[in-house]
Structures are given as C-alpha cells and as structure tokens.
Amino acid sequence: MPKVLFVDSYSTVLEDRNKSLLSASIASDGQWRFPEGEIISEKFITAIVAYEDKRFYQHFGVDPISIVRAIQQNIRLKKIRSGASTITMQVIRLSRKNRARTFFEKIVEFILASRLELRHSKNEILSLYSTHAPFGGNVVGLEAACWRYFGRPANELSWAEAAMLAVLPNNPSLIHLGKNRILLKAKRDRLLTKLHKEGKLDQLELDLAKAEPIPDNPLSLPRLTPHLLDRAIKEGKTQQKIITTIDYPLQQQAQSVLRDHMERLRANQIFNSAALVVDVKTGNALVYIGNVEAGSQHEEQVDVINSPRSTGSILKPILYAAMLDEGKMLPKTLQPDIPITINGFSPKNFSNQFDGAVPADQALIRSLNIPAVEELREFRYEKFYELLKNTGFTTLNKPADHYGLSLILGGAEGTLWDITGVYASMARTLNNYFDHPGKNRYNKSDFHPLQYSVSSSTFLVSGYQSPATGNLQPGTTISESSWLSASSIYLTFEALKELYRPGEETGWRYFNSAKKIAWKTGTSHGLRDGWAVGVNPEYAVGVWVGNADGEGRPGLTGTETAAPILFDLFALLTGKTWFSSPQSEMALISVCSKSGYRSTEFCQKVDTMWVAKPGLVTMACPFHKKIHLSQEKKWRVHSGCEELHKMTPANLFVLPPIQAY
C-alpha cells in the first residue's frame, strides 16, 4: 500500500471566510478536481452508501455477501454483470487508474482495500472516494460536480441532486445531458425510491425530489476573485483549498459599485480600476478587486492591486505625521508655497499657482506639492525612505538617493496593497493605543502587511517580524511607537477628515448619518493614475483608477475618478465611530493664530490647540516682531530718526517678502 494513494493534480480553490466558493483553477491535467476535504453533504453520503455499498459500515473493505451474490449472478447470466466492488475497493481502483478488470487485479483490490480499512476511518475513505470519483466529462470529485451541475456547494444539495450525483460514478457517461437525460433521471428516481423505502425521506420529500428536473448544461464555476486566485498560484499556494478573508456578499456589492462607475469612466477612455476593503483590526482583506472586466485588449488580466504604480500625493499624510512626531512643525504651522528650485528640481503645484504661505494642515488638505517638498527637505528624504520601508512599502527597490525629494510627489512606485495596508496600520496603531492602558501602549506588530488567507492571519497573535526589528515575541508592548505615534496619527486623520468630498458627499457634515472618514487622493504625473485611500476606526478602503497599460487621460485625477468610488464603497460598510483622541501623549498649548507656531509675547491673537508632545519644543513664532511706530502710527521709526518718548511700540506680523507677496 503506497503512503500516498493519489498523485493526481488538483485545482486551486479559493473560498471566502465562510467557505463559499470564490474562484477555482482547473487542474494541470485538464480536470476539475478539487483538493480533498471534509464531506459536508450527509444526503450524498446516505445516497452513495445506499446505491453502491449498503453494508459499507459493517465490512472491512470486502463484502463477502456481495461476492457470493456476484458469483451466483455471473454464473447464471454466463457473463460478468456484477463485480461486488465496495466503496473501499472503488477507491483502490481509482488510485490504480482503473486498470483492466482481471481476476488478478480483483485480488489486488481485495488485499489493498482491506489494508486501506486498517489505515483510514470510514469517513476518510468516503472523503477519498468523493474527491476522486468521476462525475462525467472533466469533472472529478463531489465538490467540483456540485458547482458544475448545480452551482452550489455540497452542503446545499437536495435529495434529488444527491441521488443524481450518487449514480454518476457508476456510469459517468450518463451526464451527457443532451443524450441521456431520460436514462439518468430513471436511475436517479429508482435510487430515490429505494431511499424512501429505507425511511431516509418521506412521501412528500420523494414526490418533490422526483419532480426536480435534471440540469440542462454544466455551469461555469464562480470567478469572483480571479486576480486573487492568480496571485495565490504565483505565490505557490497551488493545488489546495485556500480559505480567504474575503467577504463574499461585500465582494459582490463592491464589484457592482466599480461596474457602475466604469460605465462613466469608459467614456473618457479609462478602462481599468481596482479596489481593496480591509478590516483595520486584523489587516484582513474583505474585498479584493484586482481589476474590472475590460477585455484582454485593455489588460483586464493585470492585477493592479499588486502592481507598482506612481504614488502621486498619496504619501503626503505619512510625511505630515512624521513631521509632527519629530516636533518639526505643528498642525497649522505656516509652510512656504513659493517657487523653488533644489538641485535642478523645480516642483509645481497641480494648479500652477502659489499661495506664499499656507498652514500645514491646509497644505495637506489641498495636496500642495511645494510645501510637501519643503517638509521633506527638512525631514530628510533618507529618513522618510526608511520610514516608508519599515511601515510596509515593499516596492522601494532603489537607494534613497535615486528618488530624492521627488519621493513625496510620486517619484517612487507603490502598490494599492501596500498603500492601503499602511493606512490600515496607522488606524490600528491609534485604536490599539487605548487597549493597553499604562506606560506601554504600543506593539510593534501594529504595523504589519495585509493578508488575504485565514492561514496567514496570525499577526495579532504571533507578532510581525519587521526587517528593522527582527523577531517579536507575542503580546510584546513598548512605551513608544516604532514608527508613528498615536498622537501624530490622530492629528493627521483629523486634518484628512476635512478634505472636500466629491459629488453628493459635499454636504456630509450636515447629516447625522454621515461617516467621518480620513481620506486622501493622489494623481501621478501625466494623469496616468488616480488614487483614493480612506480610513475610519473599522475599515480602510483603497481605490485605483487608470489604464493598466499606463496611458494617461485628461481628467484622470484621484479626486475625479477614484474618490467617488471610495465613498460609494464606504457606503456599503457599517459603523459611524471616529477615533478617540490620545490626550495622554498630547499637550494643550498656546499657538499664534496667524503663523501656527508656538505663541510669543508679541503674537496679537493666540489660540489653544492640542498637539503631539514633541510639538512643545517647536520653534516659537518667528513672524511676530515688536517694532516702533511714529505717534500717528503711520511710519516705522527707530531711535536714530525719532525721539524715544515719541515712539509707539507695536507688534507686527512680518513674513519673508516672497511669501508675503
């Protein structure tokens, strides 16, 4: 007896988190053969035992009574009519590829069947049979047959369907639905009658079962997540059943949202889009739409979720949070928005306009490029590069100097998978901050990659091995965040919440039912990629819109193309909560209402603001200065041109000339 009975190739099967079929690939030998699993159809078990081997639970692989009956029948008919094969013997025959039915082969089957009974339980033998029995055409195994003929899993079979499948392995050619429908129905109904006589179903169930028609034609298997299936195969998860984290109903609803929007976008020669919906707490992908149906001429086979694309402005919130974390600015600190050239690099705003000086949060909300470049220059692009890699960006394959300051404006490529994952990790860090009261409020595993299979969803338990930190012990908590603090994340999300929403979402603040969402868009150079990523305490949603072949189109911006999809996806999700403020690592300070810096005695109007504690050491307001005016307060004077007792002191807000202009 070989250790492995079957060496067949199997389909790769994806199921959602509730074990509903999402997608499957055909096996390498051209058969629909699902991997072995539990038999979850009691009706099929009852039917197959009644039809093939009524003493299955009493014998040890060989049924002596059936053998005697078969010998007597064959002698009487003077031909081989019955082989007395038990289900166990049929498993052996299937494993030996249905060799010629000789006397010697039958003896071998007797011996191996007895050994199989010693090695496996009855349920395991039934599982082997249901996985490898032929069900007509290129359909092998019960699960594949259920989906091909009835479009449903085995646990939802009716008595009529279970009986039809039970009679097929004995003569799989009957499933030629166009020719053998009458014969197949007759065999099915005889089995149903037998089950009725054995008390397995009552008269009403029998009548209803016999009234069910034979299926017309084989059905196509579901292809709800074709790109995720391809990804799993490329990652080596082949010939197995993968229970994913996908939510089947939500996946269907999200696909409908994308289809509706693509009707509009195709008019502008925009043919591709992708979307992710992620559970913040676990990092599990609930929706995975790698692309929409667009035809092979428009690269519909490309999994955009896992394809590196120019990030546009989508990284700016991470830099904003990092600047707050290091005390390099406060949320409303004025940032220069003026023409600049740095080593030949001359960034421009999308509008090609300059505002002189803009509060940092408004620069983020308006996605101004020049303030972002100035912030990155102060933060240093080398540090930001390392921060991106440590928080989850896997596509930064060149040295930091290759990207330089363009890193913040789409000079690097990222995937929707990584980008959405980092936003989800930021939200998770903020949520988990409140789960660990006391000194140690952080866990290095808060920042971890997304996952799509249940078997890999272990980060919350086992921790995440970061390239920078090495192994992490389960449940390890630390006093400071390794990457971004809860306070800086909260202040960043508060700013992103104020972004101007598109379409019907513009007046969201006026509705009690509105959801607070921190969101950001991005548009790549040449109008090739439109991004939108949003997050709340429960979910992170990422959307990409564009052409997979890289063709740019007028109007292909994140705001115009991806953002409407983002909010329609959030409309599918439950929950209206917002993040709590981590005030234990924040401080209430006085800030200059004009400059956004810490106030000084010269600031004319002062506001109070909650800031991250590193903000306590930021620069005091450099723009309010004490000056002296003439008595009529018309001219600025000094001791060299006016007597001291005639000078009137005043506080004046003075920006650098280029910013003031």
What is the C-alpha separation between 322 and 324, in angstroms, rounded? Answer: 5
Contact 243, 177 (CB under 8 A): no
What pLDDT, on the 0 to 100 scale, is given for residue 474?
44
What pLDDT, on the 0 to 100 scale, is given for residue 460?
42
* Short-list 426, 410, 406, CA closest to 313: 410
What pLDDT, on the 0 to 100 scale, is given for residue 357?
95
DSSP-derived pairing of the beta strands 648-653 and 272-279: unpaired
DSSP-derived pairing of the beta strands 272-279 and 284-289: antiparallel
What pLDDT, on the 0 to 100 scale, is given for residue 165?
95
Q: pLDDT per residue over 373-419, tens digit each?
A: 999 999 999 999 999 999 999 999 999 999 999 999 999 999 999 99
What is the C-alpha separation between 249 and 405, in angstroms, rounded? Answer: 43
* Short-list 423, 465, 427, CA closest to 445: 465
What is the C-alpha separation between 414 and 428, in angstroms, rounded? Answer: 21
What is the C-alpha separation between 17 and 498, in angstroms, rounded? Answer: 35
What is the C-alpha separation between 615 and 591, in angstroms, rounded? Answer: 11
Given CA atoms 164, 167, 169, 175 in this order, what sign does their dihedral have?
A: negative
DSSP H helical ranges for 245-391? 248-265, 316-325, 360-365, 369-379, 381-391
Q: For the chain, which domains are there?
A: 31-211 (1.10.3810.10), 309-570 (3.40.710.10), 583-660 (no CATH)
DSSP letter at 577 equals: -
143 φ, ψ to 5°?
A: -60, -45
Rg value, the chain, Cα: 34
What pLDDT, on the 0 to 100 scale, is given for residue 625?
85
What pLDDT, on the 0 to 100 scale, is given for residue 627?
80
Burial of 15 (0-12, 13-18, 19+ CB in 10 A): buried
Tally of CB atoms within 10 A around 346 = 11
What pLDDT, on the 0 to 100 scale, is given for residue 479?
66
Q: Please give the distance of CA 142 from its chain centroid, rounded to a whole number.
A: 30
DSSP H helical ranges for 340-433? 360-365, 369-379, 381-391, 400-403, 416-432
Beta bridge partners of 490: none
Contact 447, 391 (CB under 8 A): yes
With tokens 């667009």, the residue in question is: 294
DSSP-derived pairing of the beta strands 13-15 and 241-243: parallel
Contact 248, 14 (CB under 8 A): no
Output the CA angle 306-312-316, nearest 5 degrees. Answer: 105
What is the C-alpha separation between 382 and 377, in angstroms, rounded? Answer: 10
What pLDDT, on the 0 to 100 scale, is given for residue 197?
96
What pLDDT, on the 0 to 100 scale, is given for residue 464?
40
What is the C-alpha separation between 455 and 237, in angstroms, rounded? Answer: 11
With tokens 């390392």, the residue in question is: 386
What pLDDT, on the 0 to 100 scale, is given for residue 463?
40
Residues of the chain with pLDDT under 70: 70-71, 73-83, 174-178, 456-479, 503-513, 661
